[in-house]
Chains A and B, each alone.
Chain A
Amino acid sequence: MKSCTGKVLRVDLTAGTSIVEKIPDEVYEAVLSGKGLGAWYLYKNIPAGADPLGPENILGFTSGALTGTGTFMAGRWTVVCKSPLTGGWGDANCGGVFSPAIKQCGYDAIFISGISEKPVYLYCDNKGAQIRDASEYWGLDAVEAENKLIADNSGGKIPRVAVIGQAGENVSLISGICNEGGRIAARSGVGAVMGSKKLKAVVLAGSKPMPCADPEEVKALSKELGRKINKMWIPKGLGGGIGFMGIGMGKMPSLPLDGSMTSYLFREWGTPSNTPLAITSGDGPLKNWSAGPGEVGGLRMAFDYNPEKINKIEESKYHCYSCPLGCGGRLDISGVPYSEYYETHKPEYETLQAFGPLCVNRDMNSVLYLNELLNRAGMDTISAGNTVAWAIECYENGIITKEQTDGLELTWGNWDAEIALIKKMISRDGFGNDLADGVKRASEKYGGKEYAIHVGGQEPGMHDTRNDPQLGIHMVAEPAPGKHTIGMAIQYGAMSLCDICSWAPPATIHSKKNDLEATEEMALTSKANTCYSMLMDGLGCCYYAEMMGVHMYKAIEYANAAAGWEYDGDHYMKIGARIQTIRQMFNVKHGYEPSKVKLPKRMQGMPPLKNGPLKGVTLKNEEQVAMHWKAFGWDEKTGHPLPETIEALGINRLMEM
């Protein structure tokens, strides 16, 4: 593939050695790079039953097939491993500038196995790789360590750093890996795997050229997209009205939307634009997934999280590598009286929802501070927020006592206690130690399992499955369960996949009640959404590019120009199906049984909510998941990929390479 280097770096931390491995071109043809390359490599090289925190587990840092080709919005890096949180496939994805830095060292991915005796970091540049002592960085938070590593390795090319904070060092199972001052690849417990290997950081300072078959064609596509985005604007001050918009959306049927809509919102406010909308529309879970907007003061809370408030303290926009949109930002939080930090990255919607409405917390300042604390510690805000919400509900119901919480009054809306608990979780202190491995393990110790919201061990993203049953399919059927990013009805409605894929159903205007049924059309929709998301992951593209739709963000045209191919959409969707099937095969190989993964009762509407936009909704999730598996050619009862499907996708031959 002409947009990839054809090489990966393999590091063994036990032996203290590294080698460069060549990857056959057929592998890129079959699974691209990024998550696809990672799935192929890990399936082949991690033995069945390997301890996720042991030396046999492999931690992979992968770039995308389009990264560095001039393609816009293709700067995502994906971390892959066997997840210590779920025991199955694990991956996490992040923006920033680390993805091109991998390629500029001459690799498409870096795979790390073994365990070092003492803390180390991996340094790579044009000359090769070195494993260096990291004792002076161990114990620093992710931002301090990154700044020091850049300063200590400066003098030429700006080094790019992926690093763990205290949460990863403490092998918290809900920890991630950071870059660019606390932007985090957060899910699946990837930080715990890095911490278990005593690997503090990966520092990349290469400057090799990044290949591309037709850079002029790629640039032309980017120029067209950049011009469109540069013309986008929304009248100032509309943020306060988003909550009202949510009330309307909660009552409306499911609508196909123009792909540019989210781009307008994200360019103006970033993902915080979704918070008021989610609170009032039913999209965002409230009070540990137990309440409708009316029970938590929905509209008032929507104003509390008005994104205009965030814009007022935004010092500058933050753009990931190759992104013209710029949904990120740097915020001035010097006005938050209890914060020892002056700046933070703009919190994502997920963080705002998890520590705000999910915990019935109306103080946005506290969430800004929590955002910085967790980013520096390298802890997943989604998992941490769900865990704190569980602890509050347990405390309110007498399952956990004040003695057990080390004196913390964990009541709804008590943001002071939220902050104190998060600090305890980061440092694994007392009660916090038991919560630092996520809600499943905490509830196994303390009880309150009915309040523990997790899917297969991982806490779900902040979008309510009762509002979007298709999301419920993905959260269960996804090999790394609980993820909210793989597919949603609103995402599908914006993508126009039927225009590039012969079997993808068109998005239609329909009653949301239709989405509650298990139909073949629904199964094909969720399959198509999954395949396109896997394609984007293999290419290294952002899901906000995916949500622009195929007419605005021309992923197929980009891929053909960069790789020197002439494939159609069906071919690329088959690549997506192949990547997803290999990830599921990884789970089966490691004894992770897909059929045992269930949505928590609350997320299925059992019992249904009594008021609000989700009133009376109950899902048929198990039937829908079975049909989704069948659409993929997997066993509809077990979720195991069928032998004929594996053969038809050419995976058997691929695994012999």
Chain B
Amino acid sequence: MAFKRQPEFKYENCVSCSICVQACPVGALDLTRPGKSGRYRNLFPELVNERCIGCGLCAKGCPMECILMVIPYEG
């Protein structure tokens, strides 16, 4: 439990294609995070609830290699 991995997003290369969102088997991701900067007002993926099971299907599916599965630092 303590070592459950979660996706960490590298938004620089993200193209908002939502392949990761649809790959998630438990509905833990959605395109809801507004872009911090840039002109294209894209929405980016983020965890939207506590359902993530750490399966890594989002990272596996991402063509732009924007997702790393990491153990969240809770200190």
A residues whose Cβ falls under 8 Å from a Cβ of B? 68, 70, 72, 97, 100-101, 104, 154, 156-158, 207, 218-219, 222-223, 226-227, 229-230, 233, 236, 267, 314-317, 319, 321-324, 326, 329
Which of A70, A104, A316, A322 sits near B42, CB closer than 8 Å? Answer: A316
Say yes or no for B3: interface residue by CB 8 A criterion. no
Known pairs A70-B61, A322-B18 / 12 extra A-B pairs, C-beta < 8 Å: A157-B24, A157-B26, A207-B25, A226-B63, A316-B41, A317-B16, A319-B16, A321-B19, A322-B17, A324-B15, A324-B17, A329-B41
**Are B25 and A323 in contact, with the CB atoms below 8 A?**
no
Q: How many B residues, CB 8 Å from partner? A: 25
Tell me the nearest residue of chain A to B42, going by C-beta. A317
A/B interface sample: 22 pairs, CB < 8 A: A70-B19, A72-B17, A97-B22, A100-B22, A156-B51, A157-B27, A218-B63, A223-B63, A223-B64, A226-B64, A233-B39, A314-B41, A315-B41, A317-B16, A317-B42, A319-B16, A319-B18, A321-B18, A321-B22, A322-B17, A322-B19, A326-B16
Is B13 part of the binding interface, using a Cβ–Cβ cutoff of 8 Å?
A: yes
Contact of B27 with A158 in the complex, beta carbons under 8 Å: yes
Residue of chain B at shortest CB distance from A229: B15
Q: Which of B34-69 contact A (CB under 8 A)?
A: 34, 39-43, 51, 61, 63-65
Residues of A within 8 A of B21 (CB): 158
Q: Does B8 contact A (CB under 8 A)?
A: no
How many pairs of residues, A versus B, come closer than 8 Å at their CB atoms?
Answer: 77
**Min distance, Cβ A601 to any Cβ of chain B, angstroms:** 44
Looking at B18, B21, B26, B63, which has the most chain A CB atoms within 10 Å of its CB?
Answer: B63
The reply to whether B22 and A101 form a contact with Cβ atoms under 8 Å apart is yes
Residues of B within 8 A of A219 (CB): 63
Using a CB–CB distance below 8 Å, which chain B residues touch chain A?
Answer: 13, 15-19, 21-22, 24-27, 30-31, 34, 39-43, 51, 61, 63-65
Closest to B38 in A: A233
When C-beta atoms are compared, the residue in chain B nearest to A71 turns out to be: B63
Q: B25 — nearest CB in chain A belongs to which residue?
A: A207
Bound-state CA distance A323–B16 (Å) is 7
**Given A219-B63, A223-B65, A326-B16: A317 in contact with B40 (beta carbons within 8 A):** yes
B26 proximity list for chain A (CB < 8 A): 156-157, 207
Cβ contact of A236, chosen from B25, B39, B64, cutoff 8 A? B39
Contacts of A315 in B (CB 8 A): 41
How far is A157 from B40 in the complex, measured between Cα atoms in Å? 28
- B65 shortest CB reach to chain A, Å: 7
In whole angstroms, what is the CA distance A324 to B64 when docked? 10
Nearest 10 A-B pairs (CB), nearest first? A324-B15, A222-B63, A207-B25, A158-B27, A219-B63, A319-B16, A226-B15, A317-B42, A100-B22, A316-B41
Known: A70-B19, A230-B13. A326 touches B42 (CB 8 A): yes
8 Å CB contact of B43 from A226, A267, A317: A317
Q: Which of chain A's residues has its CB closest to B30's CB? A: A158
A570 to B30, CA, bound (A): 40
Which of B17, B27, B63 touches A154 (beta carbons < 8 Å)? B27
Measured in the bound complex, the distance between the Cα atoms of B41 and A316 in whole Å is: 5
Q: How far is the CB of B73 from chain A (nearest CB, A)?
A: 28
Residue of B nearest to A157 (CB): B27
The reply to whether A316 and B34 form a contact with Cβ atoms under 8 Å apart is: yes
What is the minimal beta-carbon distance from A545 to any residue of chain B, in angstroms? 13
Contacts of B17 in A (CB 8 A): 72, 226, 319, 321-324
**What residues of chain B lie closer than 8 Å to A230, measured between beta carbons?**
13, 15
- Using Cβ atoms and an 8 Å threshold, which residues of chain B touch A314? 41
Find chain A residues with CB under 8 A from B61 CB: 70
- Give the residues in chain B near A317, CB-CB below 8 Å: 16, 40-43
Residues on A with beta carbons closer than 8 Å to the beta carbon of B24: 157
Report the separation of the CA atoms of residues A218 and B19 in the bound assembly, to the nearest whole angstrom.
Answer: 13
> In the complex, A317→B31 CA distance in Å?
11
A329 vs B38: C-alpha distance when bound (angstroms): 16
What residues on B are CB-neighbors of A322 within 8 Å?
Answer: 17-19
Chain A residues positioned under 8 Å from B43 (CB to CB): 316-317
Q: Nearest residue in B to A234 (C-beta to C-beta)? A: B39
Question: Most chain-B CB neighbours within 10 Å: which of A154, A158, A315?
Answer: A158
Rounded to whole angstroms, the CA-CA distance of A223 and B17 in the bound complex is: 12
